[in-house]
Structure 1
């Protein structure tokens, strides 16, 4: 198995680039795909389905090798590894990369989407496709958007009803300027640490809280150390499926078309798995005794309003948000 150390070691980038030509000259190609989520998570399963479909349609000439559970590093790590041809496909949450890719920032602002159906229509439509196209400026091909659900607050101390209840809470956020400003505006002490360190951070009281979706809360077992879930639904930023542009360009035109087609087809596969996972995860953590409450979302809307307006002074961001608002 490829280790993160092997990939990051001296000569790894050169070897990976050479591997493209070798695999193609031998008539077979292996696509490496990575994810920080566990092997049965909807995003991992969707990419696995995509790989199986491509392997079937090419009679085994193209196969996928998948590394789940953050084996090859954080989401930021894997995006950079894909940019430099060390690996091929990375599934990343936009909140983790929107400092690197500013075109994604409107999708990560608070309370941009009315519901998940609205988010899906935006990502599948002209706005989403235009944002995916911008990844090519930095060595990546945007293949598709996956769901990440609405995010809410969970913590180890007490229920959160209004932003006043966030005071003095150290809350984990992705390494994103938007998320840091958003949670600070809510009254918390935003603390950016890697995704893989959240459970330990909650357990050791390095942090008091985090924010995410039901599926992640359950699959990472963070509900065992954070026993209060407060439904704020403050963000619904999607996830992106990205491919190394150099690796993509090295494929034949027919193979590029096939990868794009199967990536698109994997989206409804992921969404069906996602809807089921969210419902199951919610039921699991509530049955385990996690305390649930509905937060005062209007109060949170008001708290983040000035922060959101500051970001919308950027006309590019404002234009995208207006297009999102106008979409049914």
Structure 2
């Protein structure tokens, strides 16, 4: 019965979006194309602001011939559901975590490895270089072409009761993670009990103590209002999983070369602005949580690095993953 309900929901979403596309497909009459861009974040989030920058840049570069209509706040479904809508051509674009992309394009798994990047500068030198380009273009094999990476900061633990000063403090704690095997392995390896859960369900789960905590970046911690409940934020920065702007190849292939250039250029232009928005939001977020009496702790990261090393070593048994990891380490 649950399967039918899930399939029914996706069918309703797809039919609804296709109906909307019908309203915007009159390019002969309106002389423009509209790209439906769906994502799960609130409009106050710095990633949404980056998408707005892309929207503006594309409108300017195309002279209004190629436009973006944004559906935020999970209006068209979860990250996974929207990626599936891209694959069948019902939605043109989305923004998802690289962790979500790894369920469709396996090479993205590497970006979820704990402590893979030395810092944000190292991360973006990788993402904007050869490795990043290959990952973005490689998604086309799965009908999901990446256009660019957005800053999603570093992810750390936040909890209801006490700091995670060492991995031992995770023992017996249920920690919400994304529905991503790498995140599950990381929390379990550190001694916690990984609990995959939809992001939209987390606030209530924390309120009702279904989980003891979660892990995310500062802007998401604030915009989700999780800081109202969790008063302990441990800056262990266990992962730097970027966001990915993705266009479905079903839609991409309908664009001519000039339109593709406009779209890629608008995406590239929005990256630097999104990074700026991100930093501003982190600073604002720190002020907000300080006023809300959230305590912050900076642990000895080496203890966490050591406990999670087997995840990296296991992934390197795959020759493709080893090659990517070696390129990242050598950069």
TM range (shorter): over 0.9
Q: Which residue of 1 aligns with 2:129?
A: 125
Alpha-carbon distance in structure 1 between the residues aligned to 2:285 and 2:291: 10
Q: RMSD value over aligned CA atoms?
A: 2.0
Alpha-carbon distance in structure 1 between the residues aligned to 2:100 and 2:209: 23
CA distance 1:75–1:295, change in 2 (3 Å): same
Q: Which residue of 2 aligns with 1:49?
A: 53
Equivalent pair of 2:14/2:85 in contact (CA under 8 Å): no
Equivalent pair of 1:93/1:239 in contact (CA under 8 Å): yes
Question: What does 1:97-246 align with in structure 2 at a 5 Å threshold?
Answer: 97-246=101-250
In structure 1, the residue corresponding to 2:253 is in which secondary structure?
helix
Unaligned ranges ≥5, structure 1: none
Alpha-carbon distance in structure 2 between the residues aligned to 1:127 and 1:20: 36
Equivalent pair of 1:171/1:190 in contact (CA under 8 Å): yes
In structure 2, the residue corresponding to 1:323 is in which secondary structure?
helix
Alpha-carbon distance in structure 2 between the residues aligned to 1:66 and 1:110: 32
Equivalent pair of 2:104/2:142 in contact (CA under 8 Å): no
User: How many residues are aligned here?
Assistant: 324
Q: Normalization by structure 1: what TM-score? A: 0.93
Question: What does 1:21-40 align with in structure 2 at a 5 Å threshold?
Answer: 22-23=26-27, 26-40=30-44
Displacement, 1:16? 6.9
Alpha-carbon distance in structure 2 between the residues aligned to 1:45 and 1:207: 30
Equivalent pair of 1:74/1:196 in contact (CA under 8 Å): no
Displacement, 1:55? 1.6
Alpha-carbon distance in structure 2 between the residues aligned to 1:282 and 1:103: 33
Q: Which of 320, 324, 328 is the aligned partner of 2:324?
A: 320
Displacement, 1:97? 2.9
Aligned: 1:286 with 2:311? no
Displacement, 1:10? 6.8
Unaligned ranges ≥5, structure 2: 1-7
Please list the CA deviations of residues 46-84 of structure 1 after superposition, one character each: whole Å capped at 9, or x if unmatched: 111111222233332222111111111111111111111
Equivalent pair of 1:17/1:85 in contact (CA under 8 Å): no
Displacement, 1:264? 0.7
In structure 1, the residue corresponding to 2:272 is in which secondary structure?
helix
